[in-house]
Structure 1
Amino acid sequence: MSDSAPAKILLVEDDEVIRKSVAMALERYGYHVTVAADGLTGLELFREGPCDLLLLDVMLPGLDGIGLCRRIRESSTAPILMMSARGDSLDVVSGLEAGADDYVVKPVDTAVLVARIRSLLRRATIVSTKQSGQADRLVFGNLTIEPAALEVYRDDEELALAPTELRLLLEFAAHPGVVLSRQTLLRDVWDYGWDGDSRVVDLCVQRLRKKIGADRIETVRGFGYKLRR
């Protein structure tokens, strides 16, 4: 996505009223929106052409949003934003475990939705000033991080990290050995103050551990997490 080109969003939602209203709202904000009414069509559209962000409903016919998210994560690190029914914590947890970067609840408030999308797109395209000022190469055991190139290697094998996973790792790497609370990580990695569920941090840490090694990020009970030196 160039600076001048509108971001391309793939919206997969089976409710026609919600699908049309969300698409129209996003287009008013300048986004280019492609829509699908079921998971299999959404997967097909995703494979036909690149998109900058995916907005997936959890409950979809054919292939549900959780399954679609997993299929996309097999080949792509594009930001994924899940839409969940209000109060349905199981949907939220399942979506984040499947590889989603964030979630919103339905009915979707347009201002919140756009804020979440902007945050995800920033994570996918920029590195903060603090992170870009890091050393060219950071080494933690068998893990090598190259912040300027946005590359991470484990035992010399490059890892495919989703944007949020990469931002989270870079935040840890900027404070090696320092305990970072969930609220601090929500503020500095997710780009906004979140008054609600901090499980998004825990689940992203779990996904990151599977890729970089389970013992690399230590849980400090009652306080947060830290990256082992």
Structure 2
Amino acid sequence: MNHHIGVVEDDANIQSIVSAYLKKEGFHVTVMESAEKAWELWETQPPDMWILDIMLPGMDGYEFCKKIRQESDVPIIIISAKDDEVDKILGLELGGDDYLTKPFSPRELMARVKRVFKRTSQSAQDNHTPHDRIKAGNLLIHENDRRIFWNGHEQDMTTKEFDILLLLARNKNRAFSREELLIKIWGEDYFGSDRAVDDLVKRLRKKLPEIPLETVWGYGYRLRGEEA
């Protein structure tokens, strides 16, 4: 197990404990006390997962999570002294994959780290198919290479943007409920509101103007196909 995990935490005691447990489990660990230093790491040697505190000096964890999600779907586990439900929901809706309230058991954190890695790995396997290319109007998906083309031009996509387009393109004209999309794209143990689906669709429509990604009011979304 050689995953690289970035720990962003300004409490030296928590830094030491979390780092020791992660290393014991075989992970490569980089510890930082600020989101600014974490961003420098992201641009030079991006980790395979972030363990992120919310209350940080300077840029807080919410803002850092938001910035990361604009570029990647790398797993993020939030650890925070904020235990209100609204704080948990905000953290998850900004893109956190899990939320753990301080004080926490290091063993529980290790279990969650392994679970998130297992879920993301399984998601990649589930999306595999022998059909390499899928076309829906001006949208072309090279599935095996995980590449998206719109009007002949390749587009940069996050993992979840790619996954939802692939799912919808495989099932043209079928309406998916928001709940279905949450389960299929985020996983069955995702905790958060279906606003995450709406935000993802909003980003796709901005990246791919005129894509026939239709809202089924009061239900969910569908990608209109040529046979519609």
TM-score category (smaller protein): 0.7 to 0.9
Q: 1:86 aligns with which of 83, 87, 91?
A: 83
Contact persistence 1:13–1:60 (CA under 8 A): yes
Corresponding residue for residue 38 of structure 1: 34
Q: Does the aligned pair in 2 maintain the 1:153–1:159 contact within 8 Å? A: yes
Matching residue of 1:128: 126
**Equivalent pairs, count:** 218
Q: Give distance in 2, aligned partners of 1:219 and 1:205.
A: 9
Q: Quick check: 1:77–1:163 contact (8 Å CA) kept in 2?
A: yes
Q: Measured at CA, do residues 19 and 172 of structure 1 come closer, stay the same or move farther in structure 2, by a change above 3 Å?
A: farther
Q: Residues 145 and 152 of structure 1 are in contact (CA less than 8 Å); yes or no, is this contact kept in structure 2?
A: yes
SS of match in other structure, 1:153: strand
Counterpart in 2 of 1:184? 180
Could you tell which deviates more after superposition, 173-182 or 10-19?
Answer: 10-19
Q: Residue 11 of structure 1 contacts residue 33 of structure 1 at CA under 8 Å; is this kept in 2?
A: yes
State the match for 1:63 in structure 2.
59
Amino acid at match of 1:118: K
What is the Cα deviation at residue 66 of structure 1?
3.7
What residue ranges of structure 1 are gaps of 5+ in the alignment? Answer: none
Report the counterpart of residue 195 of structure 2 in structure 1.
199
**Superposed displacement of residue 132, structure 1:** 1.4
Most deviating of 148-157 and 137-146 = 137-146
Provide the residue aligned with 2:222 in structure 1. Answer: 226
Segments of structure 2 that go 5 or more residues without pairing to the other structure are: none
What's the secondary structure of 2:215's corresponding residue? strand
Deviations 1:106-132 (A, max 9, x none): 236423343224323554xx3426x41
1:14 aligns with 2:10: yes
Whole-angstrom distance in 1 between the partners of 2:116 and 2:8: 17
CA contact (8 A) 1:209 1:216 kept: no
**TM-score, normalised via structure 1 length:** 0.77
The answer on 1:169 being equivalent to 2:147 is no
The corresponding residue for 2:141 is: 145
* Structure 2 match to 1:118: 118
Aligned counterpart, 1:104: 99
Q: Which has the greater radius of gyration? A: 2
Letter in 2 for 1:161: M
Native 8 Å contact 1:9 1:51 kept in 2: yes
Q: Is the partner of 1:86 in helix, strand or coil?
A: coil
The CA deviation at 1:150 is 0.7
Aligned-pair Cα RMSD in Å: 3.0
Relative distance call for 1:106 and 1:82 in structure 2 (3 A) is same
- Within 1, Cα distance between the matches of 2:191 and 2:48? 27
Q: Retained in 1: the 8 A contact 2:134–2:170? A: no
Per the alignment, in what secondary structure is the counterpart of residue 132 of structure 2?
Answer: coil
Q: Distance in 1 between matches of 2:185 and 2:140?
A: 20
